[in-house]
Chain A
Amino acid sequence: MRETTPSYDLLRGVWRENPVLIQLLGLCPALAVTNTVANSLAMGLATFFVLLGSSLLVSALKKVIPHEVRISAYILIIATFVTIADMVLAAVVPDIHKALGAFIALIVVNCMILGRQEAFASKRPIGRALLDAVGTGTGFVIALLMMGTIREVLGYGTFLGIQVLGARYEPWVIMILPPGGFFTLGFLLLAFGWWKTRQDMRPAVREWPHGVASADRRVA
């Protein structure tokens, strides 16, 4: 396995390998509950907690868990933390818990969490596993907040319940309905694709005169 520095482990998941926007993992919660900023934040933090807890436990128990049943063991650990998160949310913010509904329980099958356990936490020391979990969890929260902000501002004209687009704004209702989730993420991905093709094109343009010069020399 390639050696990495601690800061790389931490920062990788935040943007360069963002779980939702780049790797397209954990799409189910990213699309289903991001119709308001508050819901996105609650879902993001709950997932962050589950990821952190399971990475800690998986990394600590990596010598104990037999290789053949590791996936089931990871799922059991994840399900335990999800049950805790579910109960805490129900006790602290009952309204949001009700709005998120079954999707809190569905954090168990968020492929991003299982993916980090299998690819990282089960092979690395506890400290690194925690750094990776913090980075990836932050990336997930950022992606959910981006989706939530776009959808709430356009769909309700509010941000966290505060009017931002003026009283005369006609809400774009489709953004808070299911199709709005697909469209928002789709247009975000298109924007990233556009940005990336521009980035890829720039060095080619810069190298062109040089290429011409060397070609000329060959002719001569």
Chain B
Amino acid sequence: MGELIWILVSAMLVNNFTLALFLGLCPFMGVSARVSTALRMGAANIFVLVITSMTAWALNTYVLDAAPYLRLISFIVVIASLVQIVEMTIKKVSPKLFRELGIFLPLITTNCAILGLAIFQTNRGYGFLEGLFFAVGAGLGLTLALVLMASIREQSELASVPAMAKGMGLVLIIAGSLSLAFMGFAGLFTS
């Protein structure tokens, strides 16, 4: 159990997907202007990451031993189609949940965080449970980074900044400072 918690906390804080590994930067820059949107995006991300982790595990265990060179292609095709099916199911079963998460789901599929999770999980040889904890940790980490960024940006919109910093330059500097802060977690585990 300790090992699983370690994987979760490590993916969430120490090796935060966005701030330490630069995965999922598109939503981080694109939809981090409002806290409420950031929260929904984060929830949708956790959802897709968990599905991805289970899919990647199944593919690795049952299919890809015979043809490892097809890993990349099969990951992306299977994950994209699975998310599409899940999206249709949600739309049918719970229109309310679809309105909350739905618009983000197809966007998320082609996000580096999703494919990154599948590849890291494969490279590290995680089993089913380990992969699940890894996915939840990574998703929580993404959500945390998104919400932190969104709350800072909500404030900084009201601040008067020089004309040259009106674009993404300032956002990247803020992201750098957040990343610097997250590096403080590096000493969290001493093993």
Contacts and interface: CB of A to CB of B under 8 A. Distances in A.
Interface of A: 24, 27-28, 31-32, 72, 75-76, 79-80, 82-83, 86-87, 101-102, 105-106, 108-111, 114, 174, 177-183, 185-190, 192-194, 196-197
Contacts of B177: 179
A83 B119 CA distance: 13
B73 A186 contact: no
B38 interface: no
A27 B179 CA distance: 15
Most chain A CB within a 10 A radius of its CB, from B110, B168, B172, B183: B172
B173 A75 contact: no
A31 B72 contact: no
Contacts of A79: 72-73, 76
Contact of B172 (A102, A108, A186, A197): A186
Contacts of B176: 179-183, 186
B74 to A, nearest CB: 9
B173 A109 contact: no
A80 B77 CA distance: 12
Nearest to A86: B72
Interface of B: 19-23, 25-26, 29, 69, 72-73, 76-77, 80, 110-112, 114-116, 119-120, 123, 163-173, 175-177, 179-180, 183
Contact of B77 (A76, A83, A193): A76
Contact of A182 (B21, B23, B116, B172): B172
A31 B25 contact: yes
11 contacts: A31-B22, A32-B22, A83-B73, A106-B116, A177-B183, A178-B20, A178-B179, A182-B175, A183-B176, A193-B167, A194-B164
A190 B72 contact: no
B110 A109 contact: yes
Which 10 pairs of residues, A with B, have the shortest CB-CB distance?
A182-B176, A186-B172, A189-B169, A193-B164, A190-B169, A186-B173, A194-B164, A32-B22, A179-B179, A183-B176
